[in-house]
Amino acid sequence: MKSYYKPMLLACILGAVVLTYTMSKYQEVLTELQTQKAKFDAIENKISPGIIAQSASLDGKQRISVSGTFEENRKVPEMHKEFKPESFYQDKAAIPDYKIKLQTLIDQKVPADNPDLVNIIRNHYIEQPSQEPYKLLNPERVDYSQGQTPFIDSRLNYMEGGFYVECGALNGEKGSNSLFFERVRKWNGLLIEGDPTNYAELKKINRKAFSINACISPRATPFKAKFHKAFNMGRAIHDAQSENWVKRNHKNKDLVEMECFPLYSLMLALNRTTIDFFSLDVEGDEVNVLKTIPFDKLNIKMMTVEYAHGGAGGADMQRFLQSKGYEVVLKVSKDNWGVNDLIFRKKGVADGSTI
């Protein structure tokens, strides 16, 4: 072979090697894209429109981002099915001086399971579900949440007849994480809202749920606190941290005194120990509230908890709940900071489990 052909031959061989390697890497990339697409296709109908949902872990690494809508075949099936929410007898005359009695219990810093405290909450603070037709501002909607509801719904296998607790219920409709479960899946539940103005609007729409105009306590005991009214950014002012939070976020204070009750007290008042879905949004007190919960006595299957005000991307919250037997299954966020939630599931609760 003539010497001037050798460089050409070497170039052809090198080119073939490079092409083979490139095609191999291309195939790897293609396979990975196909895998990611399969994951997307499997869950694209579990998230509401306009929402970006990321699987999350304690190391903060992103796993997969998805978006989509409700599956059409499960939008309406139970919307118009008759639903008679639970109710219970209340003896309003049992403790005629209940406010004085409550103040005594607060002064004594009684524990959450104090029988007198539970009876006062049951008979004088919790309000019964409405028996009147809904008066929703947007009755045509199915999902009122920011994406949490369809994911929770799918992970609980579209179960009917469950029980929810939504703390930070606002007006009972805007951004509600529980209204879908009530209207479509016929769940009973408890709505907790500390802002009296929001609560008055909540009562107007005739939710089929127990409700209470009070704060959820960030302590294991009942107490009274000033509540800063600010629609979806209201919160109880009970320590230096919460006071500083208000100073940083609001110029004007609109304060009202409110009672604050531990979640466990509220559940005992309802005679319940199982919560299928717990939604917690209290503008910065989330970890404190979670630390009041006796997880050995309350069976909470799934939770969505706002993490934006806690710092460190919710790492402290994740560590605490992991120590209590929970795992992060999704991080839900929106570009405009309209939602920043972590969704937790109790370990051992498989998709669709009823335990």
Is residue 45 left, alpha or beta, with left meaning phi > 0 and alpha meaning psi from -120 to 50? alpha
- Nearest one of 189, 190, 178 to 153, comparing CA atoms: 178
In the chain, % helix, strand, coil (3-state, to 5) comes to 35, 20, 45
Domain spans, the chain: 100-346
Q: Are 102 and 224 in contact (CB under 8 A)?
A: no
Q: Are 135 and 110 in contact (CB under 8 A)?
A: no
The two tokens of residue 47 are 């998230």
Tens of each residue's pLDDT in the chain, 355 residues: 545 445 555 555 544 443 443 344 445 534 444 444 343 344 333 333 333 344 343 444 333 333 334 454 554 445 556 789 999 999 989 888 999 999 999 999 999 999 999 999 999 999 999 999 999 999 989 899 988 999 999 999 899 999 999 999 989 999 999 999 999 999 999 999 999 999 999 999 999 999 999 999 999 999 998 876 665 566 666 666 656 666 666 655 678 899 999 999 999 999 999 999 999 998 778 999 999 999 999 999 999 999 876 555 588 899 999 999 999 999 887 655 567 899 999 998 765 444 4
Q: Which CATH number fits domain 100-346: 3.40.50.150, 3.10.180.10, 1.20.1290.10, 3.40.50.720?
A: 3.40.50.150
Residues 6+ apart with CB under 8 A from 291: 320
Question: For residues 122 and 91, what is the distance between their CA atoms, to the nearest angstrom?
Answer: 9
Q: How many Å from the N-terminal Cα to the C-terminal Cα in the chain? A: 79
Question: For residues 155 and 149, what is the distance between their CA atoms, to the nearest angstrom?
Answer: 10
Q: Are 198 and 234 in contact (CB under 8 A)?
A: yes
